[in-house]
Structure 1
Amino acid sequence: MKSKFLLCAIAASVMISCFNLSFTPSQANAATPEGLPKVTIVGMGGTITSTALGRELFQSYGTPKVSISDILARLQPEIAKVADVNVREVYNIGSAETTTANLYNLTLAIDEVLADPTVDAVVVNNGTNIMEELAYWTDLTVQSQKPVVFTGSMRQSNTFSFDGEANLFNAIRLAASRETTCYGTVLMMNDEFFAAREVTKTDALRLDTFDGGRYGALGTVDENRIRTVRAPARIMSCGTEAWKTPFNLKNVKAEDLAKVEIVYSYTEADGLPITALANAGVKGIVTAGHGAGGISTSQSQARKEAIEKGVVFVSATRAGSGAVYDTKAPGIIGGADLLPQKARILLQLGLTFSKDTEQIRGWFESIGLPEFNMSKH
C-alpha cells in the first residue's frame, strides 16, 4: 500500500481513485438533465470586462465596462456544447479597487453557489494584477471540494487581440471537466493552469505572464484535450474533513479580519515603516527580505520592538523563489517559499482565527507548506 501511495505522489497523478478515496467527481457532482456539467461564473470584474480607449491601445483603459455575461454571449453557440453556464456577478471592479471585504464576500458567494448539489464547478473572473492573491485567498477559505477556476485577460474586451474569450472558454472547459476536484483553487490563463499557492504574475504586459515558478504548471488545456501532469498535495485528503482549512469565513465577520502589511527590505532600509505600522495597530507584518529573508539592521531593531508590542512577523524573501525556513524565533515565523503577498494572506487569516502565535506557526508549517509526505500513510 505504501508503494502505491509513493507511485501516486511521484507521478502527481490526478486520478483521485489512485489514493483509494471513496469520493469521486462523478459521485459528488450530478450533471444537469441535459447531460452537461453545470458551471457558474462568479464575476469580480477585471480587464476582461473593461474597455480600451482604442482597439489598438492595450494599456489605455476607458471608462465603459461590459458585463461578464456579455463576454459569455460571445462564446455561443460553442460553449453550450461544453457546459450549462450561469452567471452571478458579485462585483465588476478593477484590481486597485479590491478590498478585503470584497474577498470575504467572494468566498461566501462561491461557497453558496457550490452548496447547490446541481452545480458542478465555479469559474471566477477578476483582475490579473491581484489574481494570484484572490486565488490563494479562496484556496484557503472556500469549503467546497468542487473545482474553482480563476481566469481573466491581459487585454481589454474591445481590443484587436482580446484574450479574454479564449481564457473564459478554456476556464469553463476545465471547470466542467471536474479534473481539478479537490485541487482547491487553480488559475487558468493562456492555455495553462496553475496551483493558487505557487502561481504569480511575472510580466506587466505579456499574455503569457502567469507562471508556477520552480514547480511549473499543473497542466494544459489544448482544445478539448485537458492534460493534468501534477496535483497539489491536498488531494490526498480528498473526501475527508481534513481537506478543509480552519478558515471558514462563516464563523467571522468581514470587519474581524486582521490587518496585515508587507514591508520590503533593501540596502539601508529604514525601520520607520515597521515602527509606524506597529504604532498604527497592525497585527501582523510580512518582511520581503533579501536572500533567505534578510532585512536591514534598522529594520531588525524596529521588528524587535514591534514584537514586544505583540506584532507577529513572517519572514519571506523578495527573490521570487527559494524558502525562508522557520527557526522558531519568538514572534517571527518562516514563510517558507510563499511569496510575500501570499504569506500576507495566510498570516491575515491566521491572526483572524487565532491569537496564538504558535498555532499560526503550525498553520504555516502545514497549510502553508504542503507536501506529499508518504511517511504519514
Structure 2
Amino acid sequence: MTGIADAHPTGQPREKSDPDPYPNYAWMREHAPVSPVFSPYAAGTTWLVTSYDLVRASLADTRLSNDDRNSSAPPAPFGSGEWDPARGLLDLDRPEHARLRRLVAGAFSPGAVERMRGMVQRIADEAIDSFAGSGAVDLVSSFSLPVPVGIIHEVLGVPASEREAPARCLDLFYRAGMTQPIDVPALTALVDYVKRLADYKRVNPGDDVAAHLIRGFESGDLRDENELHSMILSVLGAGHVTTVQFLGCAVLRLLQHPDQLAAVREGRVSWAAVVNEVLRYDSPVQASAYRYASEDLEIGGVPIAKGDSVLISLAAANRDPERFEQPDEFRADRDARGNVAFGHGTHLCLGAQLARLEGEVALETLFRRLPDLSLDVRPDDVVWAYGPMLRGPRRLPVTFSC
C-alpha cells in the first residue's frame, strides 16, 4: 500500500511513501468501528476492528482463531514440504499454542530479560561506534536495523559469522510474512536459513534459545524438525521486525519534539514512558495477524459469519480518544500504559519485555553519545514504509558532531 509521489518544494517529486493511515482510522472508529474491507486474497468477508474496547475484546475472544484451518479459504500447506515448515506461535490456538509458548517463555521472562541488559548495551554501543565521527548517517540502516537484528541473533546464540545481513533479514521476513500473497521464494530462503542455524547449533550448543529448542526437539517436546524450524523462525522474526520500526519512529518523534527530549534527558520523564508513548503513537505493528471466526458471532453488534477473516487494528485502538486524551498528540510524559501495541490476551507478544528493554537502552545510549543529533531532512519528507501491516521510516538521515 503505497501513495503516489507528489511535488517536493524543490520541484523534484517526493519518493513514494506509505500514506498516513490515521485519518482513515479516526473516521472508521467513529462511523464504522467494525467494517468490511476489501481483501483480494481472503475468502468470504474480511472485517476491520478499530475501536479500543472492541479491539481488546476481540484479541481476547477465543472464537477468533489464529489457525487458518478455521478460515473459509483453503488452508496454507503448512508442513507439506512445499514452502512452509510448520504452524508456529502466530498460527495456532490453545492447547498447541500454549505447548510451544511454554518452551521459550522462560527465556523472555522479566528476570531473564534484565540479565540481557549488558548484551543490549554492548550491541547499541557497537552500532554507534561503527558510524561515530562520520557526522551524518542514515539511522535506520546504521542503528535501528542492526541493533535488533544483532540482539535476537545473540539471544538465539548465532555468531556474526553465521548471520544474514540485517537488511536481508528484515526484507525476507517482510516479504514472507507481511505481504499478500506470500512471497514464496522469500519464505523458502527463510526456511533454508533457519535450517542452517539449527544445524550450526547442533554442532555448537550453548546456553541460548536455539540450543534450548534443539534440546526440546531431542526430548520430544517439539514433535519434529518442522516444529523446531518454525520455532526458531518465530523467535527470529518476532525479535527484530517490529523493533526496527519502533526505534526509527522513536528517534523521529523525539527529534521533532526537542522540549520533550530535553525533559527526558533531564530526568523529568523516564525512558520507559517514552517507549510506551512511541508504542501507542506509532504502533509498529498496525494490525494483528488475521483471525478467523470459528463460529457465527457478533463484534460490536455486527454479525460475523463462521470462516470470515478479522483484522484487529492495534494502531487505530491506540489512537482512540475514548481511551487516550488527545491521542493524535505525541506526549512523552503521558501515561500510555494500556496501549495494545503488543496485543492482548493469549497471543500477547512473547518478547514484549525484551523490546521494551531494547528501546530504553538503545535510545538512552544514542542520545547520550550523540547529544546534538538532528534530522537532516524535514519531518514531512521522511518516507514511511512497510505498510499496511508494519509502519516505520524507511530512512532517517541525521547529522551530529561527535
- TM-score by length of structure 2 reads 0.24
Higher strand share: 1
TM-score (norm 1): 0.25
Higher relative contact order (CA 8 A, sep 6+): 2
Larger helix share, 1 or 2: 2
